[in-house]
Structure 1
Amino acid sequence: MTPNLLIIGAGGVAHVVAHKCAQHNDRLGEIHIASRTLEKCQAIVASVHTKGSLRQPGVLHAHALDAMDIDATEALIRETAARIVINVGSAFLNMSVLEACLRTGAAYLDTAIHEEPDRVCEAPPWYANHEWKRREACAAAGVTAILGAGFDPGVVNAYARLACDDYFDRVDSIDIVDINAGKHGRYFATNFDPEVNFREFTGTVWSWQGGQWTAAQMFEYRKEWDLPVVGRQSAYLTGHDELHSLSQHLDVPDIRFWMGFGEHYINVFTVLKNLGMLSEQPVRTAEGQEVVPLKVLKAVLPDPASLAPTYAGKTCIGNLVRGEKDGRAREIFVYNVCDHADSYREIGSQAISYTAGVPAAAAALLIADGTWRVGRMANIEQLPPRPFLSLLASMGLETWVREDGRDMPLAALADSVDA
C-alpha cells in the first residue's frame, strides 16, 4: 500500500518537493500540501497540474494550517491519513511538527535544523539543543524521523559517509563547499526565507577543528576554490547545520563549511547588520508599534521563489575529503552541479530550491519502500548513502567524483567497481 504524504510549507523548497513527489505519486499515494497561507498551497497545486508533473491521476490537495499548533497538525495528519510528513516550512516549526508525528506514528522529514525565534546560534552541537532530545521518544514509538534531508544538510552528509566507507581507511578532513555562481538580476535578494537565511550569518561561526568546536566571526576566513564547471570561486568559513551531526557521528577531526558570497552581498549584509536590521529582537517605533527588524526586512525583500524566472548560471556543492587509503594520501571531491535555467524549465524553480527539495522527495521515497524506514531518529550520515545518491541521480541531481584532475559520475565508478 502506498503511503499518503503531507508536505508542510509553501515556499520555494515546498514547490520542488511537491513536483518531485508528484512525479512519483504511484509510489507515494495522495499528496497534501499545507501552510498558513492557503493561496500559496493552491498555487503549488496549480503549478504541478500545469507542468504535468503527476505521474498518474491522483489526489493533490491544498490545506490551511498553522503548523505551530500541534493539535491542528495532528488532526490534519489523521484527516489525510498521511504516513510521511515532509516539513519544509520555517525552521521554527520542526519540534511542533515532530511532536505531531510522534502522536500519529507518521514518519517525519525535514531539511534544516530547528531554531527558536528569539535565539540565534545556540551552543554546539545544535541538534542536541532540540531534535536529539526526542531520539528516545522516536525509538520507543517506532517513528522514523530523518533530520536534514536537503542538500546541505543532507546530500553532503551522504557524501561524507560515502567517502568514509568506500574511499578512505582514515579521513583527516572534510571541507564542504557551497557555491552559487548564478545571477538573478535583482539588486539584493536571498535564496531562502530571508529571516532564516540571515540568522545563519549573524551568530558565531562554529567549525569542528582538531576534534573540538572552534569559534570565529562571519567573513573572518576566506579561501579560493578551483571547482568543476563554476571555476575559481571565493568562499568564507561559515557555521552550518551538517557540522553539528557529522562531528558527532564520524571520526573526522576537521570538518568545515565554506559558502560563496560576492562582494556586493557582503557589503549590503554588513550595512544591514550595522543598522540593526538583522536583529531578531523586537523594537518599538515612534508610533508605539512593536516590530522585529528582521521580519520587516523579510517583508520588503523579494520572495525567493520569485527569483526563478530570471535566474541563470549554476551551483556547485560538494565535499573535499582528504585522508589515507592503503597507506597512501588521498584526496577526492564529491559534488553535484545544478543549473538554474534547467530547474526552471522542468518545474518552475531556481537551483537553490531544487537542490534542497529533490533530496527531501527522494528521502520520502526511500521511507516509502522501506530502505530508510528505520523506526528511529537519524541524521543522513547514519543511513546507507548509495540508495539515496542513486535515486537522486535519476531525479535530476547526479553525483560526480573528482580525483587527480579527472571527473567521473558516481554511477560509472560504481559500475567499474562491480565489473
Structure 2
Amino acid sequence: MKRNILIIGGGGVARVVAHKCAQNNAVLGDIHIASRTLAKCQAIIESVHEKGSLQRAGTLQAHALDAMDIEATKFLIRATRSQIVINVGSPFLNMSVLAACIETGAAYLDTAIHEDPDKVCEAPPWYGNYEWKRRQACKDARVTAVLGVGFDPGVVNAYARYAMDTHFDSVESIDIIDINAGSHGRYFATNFDPEINFREFVSTAWSWEDNAWKANAMFEHRKDWDMPVTGLSTTYLTGHDELHSMSKNLGVPNIRFWMGFSDHYINVFTVLKNLGLLSEQPVRTARGQEIVPLEVIKAVLPDPASLAPDYTGKTCIGDLIKGHKNGQPQEVLIYNVCDHKTCFEEVGSQAISYTAGVPVVAAAMLIADGTWDIGEMANVEELDPVPFIALMNRMGLVTRIRDAQGDRVVEPEQEEVDTLASSQLLQYG
C-alpha cells in the first residue's frame, strides 16, 4: 500500500487531479500541490474547498517548487512523506521529476512524454530518447513509473489493450481519433499549454504504417469521421505520444492518430508558423533582447484554464480497431464522451483537462492499493486495463463500445466474468 500524493503542476490538469485526489483521499491520504507559482497551487486548494471535494478531512497543502531542481524535488517528496508523485507540469520536467522519484523510492506518474525545450518532433521512438533509458534504474530501485497515463496518451492505450484481449484474435489497424466539438467563445486559444500544443504540429507528423515509421507533413492527410455524439468531424493525421509505445508493445502493423482541427485553427496556425512565430529557437530583437517567439505567443494567448467557465459542447475520443475474430472481419470503436459544462460544474475545469486528469488519479489509486504497483517502468498498454477502465467508469469517465452488437457501456469486470464462464462451458461442456 502506498499513500500520500505530491502533485507537480498548477494548471488546468493539476486542478482536476487535485479535485479527484481529494474525492478519494481516504485511499490516497495527504495531498500536496507544488509549482513554481505558489498562488496557482493555493487557488486550486481554494477551489477544492469551495466545491467540497474532500472525501474526508485531511491534509491539502501548497508548495513553491522548481521541479527542474532534482534536489529540491527530492527534499519535498521526503518532507511531505509522499509515496506517489503525479507529474502534470510541463513535459520539460519529466526526466528531472522521474530522477527524484527513483532516488526517493516514490512511484512516478505523468500524462505526456518528455520534451527537450530545444527540439521538436524528434526521431521516433520518442520514449526511447528519454524515459526508457531509465527503465533499468526504475527496476533496480523497485520504483513504479507509469508513463503517459492521461487520456491520449493513456486511456487510448488501455482501450487498445482491452479490445485486443477481448474482441480480436488479430488486429491490423488502430486509429486513435480525438474530437473536441466544444466552443470556448474566444477568437483563438489552445486547450492546453500553447507552447506544448504548437510544438506537436510544427514539424514532422509520424505515423506507424506497415510496421515502420512514416514521416508525414502536418495537415497533409485529412479524414472525416462520424463519431458518437459529436457527429461528422474533420481530422488530420498527427504524430502523438502513444504511437511510440504502442508500436513497440502491441504488435499491430498500423497505428495512427487523428485530431480534429477547425479551418480557423489551421489558418491561424499557418500564419503564425509562416511568420516564424512558432519557432522554439531564440531570436534577437532590434533592442538587443533575446526572446523565443513561441514563448511570446504563449504569453499573449489565453491561459487554457481560463476557458473553462464559458466552454460548451462535448469531446469524443476513442480507438477504432480493425482485425479478425474467429476468422471473420471485426471492427470495434471503444470511446468516451465528455461534456465541458459538466466538468466545469464538478471541478472548475473544461473537458480537455478533465479527460487528462481523471485517468492519472485512477492510476494513482491502482498503485496505492497495489494493483499497478509493479516496481518498474511501464506504458499503460503493458498493464491490466480491466481495473483501470472499471475505476474510471466510477470516477466520471465512462467507457463505451460500438460494434456489430450495438453501442453500450463497457463493464470490463462483468465481461471478464462472462468470458471466463463461457470458456468453462466450452471446456467442460
- TM bracket, shorter-chain basis: over 0.9
Q: Quote the offset at 1:2 in angstroms.
A: 5.5
The 5-angstrom pairing of residues 340-419 of structure 1 reads: 340-404=340-404, 406-411=406-411, 414=415, 417=418
Give the counterpart letter for 1:254 in structure 2. N
The 5-angstrom pairing of residues 82-231 of structure 1 reads: 82-231=82-231
Q: Quote the offset at 1:94 in angstroms.
A: 0.1
User: Corresponding residue for 1:329?
Assistant: 329
User: Corresponding residue for 1:317?
Assistant: 317
CA distance in 2, matches of 1:398, 1:198: 29
SS in 1 for 2:150: coil
**CA deviation profile, 1:123-173 (whole Å, cap 9, x unmatched):** 100000000000000000000000001000000000010111111000000
Decide whether aligned partners of structure 1 residues 224 and 262 sit closer, same or farther in structure 2, where only a CA change above 3 A counts: same
Give the counterpart letter for 1:84 in structure 2. I
8 Å contact from structure 1 (residues 164, 171) kept in 2: yes
Q: Quote the offset at 1:404 in angstroms.
A: 2.5
Decide whether aligned partners of structure 1 residues 102 and 2 sit closer, same or farther in structure 2, where only a CA change above 3 A counts: closer
Q: Quote the offset at 1:417 in angstroms.
A: 2.9
Give the counterpart letter for 1:211 in structure 2. N
8 Å contact from structure 1 (residues 278, 293) kept in 2: yes
The 5-angstrom pairing of residues 32-71 of structure 1 reads: 32-71=32-71
Stretches of structure 2 lacking an aligned partner (at least 5 in a row): 422-429
Give me the identity figure in percent. 69
User: Corresponding residue for 2:269?
Assistant: 269
**CA deviation profile, 1:44-74 (whole Å, cap 9, x unmatched):** 0000000000000000000000000000000
8 Å contact from structure 2 (residues 120, 203) kept in 1: yes
CA distance in 2, matches of 1:257, 1:207: 7
User: Corresponding residue for 1:246?
Assistant: 246
Q: Quote the offset at 1:371 in angstroms.
A: 0.4
Give the counterpart letter for 2:53 in structure 1. S
**CA deviation profile, 1:371-405 (whole Å, cap 9, x unmatched):** 00000000000000010000000000000000137
SS in 2 for 1:3: coil
Give the counterpart letter for 1:226 in structure 2. D
SS in 1 for 2:288: coil
User: Corresponding residue for 2:77?
Assistant: 77
**CA deviation profile, 1:90-119 (whole Å, cap 9, x unmatched):** 000000000000110000000000000000
Give the counterpart letter for 1:240 in structure 2. H
Q: Quote the offset at 1:406 in angstroms.
A: 1.8
CA distance in 1, matches of 2:369, 2:417: 27
CA distance in 2, matches of 1:118, 1:129: 14
Q: CA RMSD in A?
A: 1.1
Question: Which region of structure 1 is more displaced relative to structure 2, 229-238 or 402-411?
Answer: 402-411
* TM-score when normalising by structure 1: 0.99
CA distance in 1, matches of 2:189, 2:391: 32
User: Corresponding residue for 2:308?
Assistant: 308
Q: Quote the offset at 1:415 in angstroms.
A: 7.8
Q: Quote the offset at 1:416 in angstroms.
A: 8.5
In the alignment, is residue 288 of structure 1 matched against residue 270 of structure 2?
no
CA distance in 2, matches of 1:406, 1:351: 26
Stretches of structure 1 lacking an aligned partner (at least 5 in a row): none
CA distance in 1, matches of 2:185, 2:267: 17
Give the counterpart letter for 2:72 in structure 1. A
SS in 2 for 1:82: coil
CA distance in 2, matches of 1:392, 1:260: 24
CA distance in 1, matches of 2:250, 2:406: 27
8 Å contact from structure 1 (residues 2, 27) kept in 2: no
* TM-score when normalising by structure 2: 0.96
Decide whether aligned partners of structure 1 residues 2 and 416 sit closer, same or farther in structure 2, where only a CA change above 3 A counts: closer
